[in-house]
């Protein structure tokens, strides 16, 4: 595994390759990241993982400061996985140049997380656009847990005719059903149990509304979730996962999208 901390040295190295499979991360690597990396390694191209906690996508400085970081543990995991390249850039390395492509932000960025985290997706698309320009990967591997983010990156790539192809990867879950997230390390045992109960409640509820859409009573669901121990709900909405339009009648092609808090920890999922 070769480690790079500046883009120019990295670019000289990867110019020699036939192509790159790219897995962007903010560190705190868990089984979800490892699943993406293993899929990347199965491609015909060399695997490059990045670790960069991007400050521009955080709404609050306190959230940025408290974001779990574990670089030593991450390095051990990546060495075991035998990836080809690791890129750990500084802020200046990523933001010290003007990218050729302007960020395209689809109107769906104003929905779901976009309504509650002002500037979040602008920050995400900005950093992804810069990584794509630096690395020019053949493939970029992204998980479906952050479905809205994945959709917006896909729209940016399509609109700007960027040649990188997105490989969508399924959400990896804990044994208790909770979607794997770096933020899960901020949950204690009881809070993790609450998150598990939320997952199973929503999974069972989805089965009900697939059979009869009249069961979709938003106020009742929110009341039930708060009864399970949820502190606050930013949103709970149902969208067709192909065109991101709200479903208003019985359908089988939809997910429930949720962002909620257990104490101060914000979790998102789509089920």
Catalytic machinery residues: 33
- CB within 8 A of 76, min separation 6: which ones? none
Quick one: tokens of 162?
């960027």
Burial class (CB in 10 A: 0-12, 13-18, 19+), 248: exposed
- CB within 8 A of 18, min separation 6: which ones? 44, 45
What is the 3-class SS of 173-221, one letter each residue?
Answer: ECCCCCECCHHHHHCCHHHHHHHHHHHHHHHHHHHHHHHCHHHCCHHHH
């Amino acid at each position: 595994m070769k480690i790079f901390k500046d883009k120019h040295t990295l670019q000289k190295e990867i110019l020699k390759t036939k192509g790159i499979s790219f897995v962007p991360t903010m560190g705190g690597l868990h089984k979800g990241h490892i699943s993406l990396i293993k899929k990347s390694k199965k491609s015909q191209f060399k695997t490059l993982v990045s670790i960069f906690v991007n400050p521009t996508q955080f709404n609050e400085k306190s959230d940025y400061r408290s974001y779990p970081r574990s670089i030593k543990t991450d390095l051990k995991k990546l060495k075991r996985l035998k990836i080809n390249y690791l890129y750990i850039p500084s802020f200046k390395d990523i933001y010290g140049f003007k990218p050729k492509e302007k960020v395209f932000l689809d109107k769906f960025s104003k929905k779901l997380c976009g309504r509650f985290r002002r500037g979040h997706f602008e920050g995400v698309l900005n950093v992804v656009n810069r990584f794509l320009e630096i690395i020019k990967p053949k493939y970029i591997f992204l998980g479906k847990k952050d479905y809205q983010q994945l959709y917006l990156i896909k729209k940016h790539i399509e609109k700007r005719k960027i040649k990188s192809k997105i490989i969508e990867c399924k959400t990896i879950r804990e044994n208790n059903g909770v979607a794997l997230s770096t933020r899960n390390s901020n949950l204690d045992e009881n809070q993790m149990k609450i998150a598990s109960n939320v997952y199973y409640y929503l999974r069972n509820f989805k089965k009900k509304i697939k059979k009869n859409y009249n069961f979709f009573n938003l106020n009742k669901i929110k009341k039930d979730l708060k009864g399970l121990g949820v502190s606050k709900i930013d949103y709970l909405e149902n969208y067709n996962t192909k065109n991101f339009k709200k479903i208003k009648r019985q359908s089988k092609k939809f997910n429930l999208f949720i962002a909620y808090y257990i104490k101060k920890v914000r979790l998102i999922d789509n089920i």
